[in-house]
Structure 1
Amino acid sequence: MRLENKIALITGAGAGIGEATAHLFAQQGAKVVVADRNFDNAARVAAAIGENAFAVAADVAKAEDVKAMVQASVEHFGGLDILVNNAGFGCLGTVTTLEEDLWDSVIDVNLKGVFLCSKYAIPELIKRGGGSIVNLASTISVVGIPDRAAYVAAKGGVAALTRAMALDHANEGIRVNSVAPGVINSSYYDKIFQQVEDPVAFKKGLEARSPLNKMGEPIDIANMILFLASDESSFSTGAMFTIDGGYTAR
């Protein structure tokens, strides 16, 4: 029970990596706030977990939603020990083909969302004597990829913000780390598959990026998030942990 008596808030927990993390945290003794912009998805995950889960709807790009989400979490479970900033989405496009509103949406959810959730959750973590924040970055935080300009920019910002937060809040007992997933078989790619001409060929190309010749699964990332959320990583802060099947080793 690596998270016994801990209270965790996970954004984007209605599917994919967030859903896998919510289930894993609960199995390890945590009380879990399942947050998602789609309340039906959040409620489905919370119901599957049981009494130690609480569903809440929130758009992490909106300050009022985030404040209400944190307040509801604290009121329901009595505090917060862990924040997992997982909510995010990507899109195709270069700086010349992207519309400004889509650029803004990607930056707002992926990067501004980390800022807002951390801004309002950190005071609650301090009340409990500190805690752990895990941000979802990406391998494209450190390597480029064609036709994903907004997503690359946003995730690069998440990696840099993680380092800044780690330094700013270490003296408050708060550790801040990030996880950089490679190609993960999740709802993020489901949306991209719908945008490409040949989804089968596109998926094979994604698998070929990894020396292991496969896509990762959400639980692969959830296991690392669990490690960073637990006391087992007590000497780690400001770091990014890459789980990508060897993609960035090339």
Structure 2
Amino acid sequence: MQGTGFGGAITPEDVRAHDVPRETTRPQDVTSPRETRTPIRGVRRQTADAVTRSAFTAPHVTEFVTVDVSASMELIDRLQASPAFAGLEPTPLVLVAKVLLVVLREHPSLNSSWDEEHQEIVTKHYVNLGIATATSRGLLVPSVKDAHLMSLLELTRAIHQLVETARAGRCTPADLSGGTVTITNVGVFGVDTGTPILSPGEAAILCLGAIAPRPWVVDGELAVRSVTTLGLSFDHRLVDGEQGSRFLADIAATLADPLTLL
């Protein structure tokens, strides 16, 4: 350090000037770009348009319930061992779908749509069940047409075929349109639950979370049970809080005791 004081003495100003860090320039890695731009088109464009339209048109409400599904998991184990279901591998999603279809009979407002042009609420007397499906092209929501008419075996087969078709990129425009209510399963990714956005033109979407062993009080004692959290998003123009809550509670009660389906 060079002093600027009398006789070359170092002054406080010399010390402060010496402590100022020099500006350094990090060498640019020319082999790795700092940004990547991907054109928005195809399924990604369609999905973006749909969720944006839904999010800013329908007033969303999401409610949650945590439920002991141990009895449902035991039922699924029995179904998987049944010769009638050979090669189909019944899953929690299929059972939840069947429960939703049964409960929906008592809650028609969850299977309706809002007709802005005619200022009418359209209640559907059929159910085209949308199944949110992750594919290599992005998220697709094909629907099982007239799912309300199907037995559990028929529904299992229809969902299995629909998901395979979607993942193979063979969905038709008819497969991807006409849904009336949707199920999405984030549990397959180990996620507890979610706040899903409605498919345009639908009143409700049910989210199935991860099913995992958790502590649960049974008959006043602590036990380890199979537990999941369900999330229900609904259009508040079509479904009020009581209707949405009762619908979700009835689904939870049926999953806790699936023999009521029989």
Q: What TM-score results when the alignment is normalised by the length of structure 2?
A: 0.28
Between Structure 1 and Structure 2, which shows a larger proportion of helix residues? 1
Which structure carries more relative contact order (alpha carbon 8 Å, separation 6+)? 2
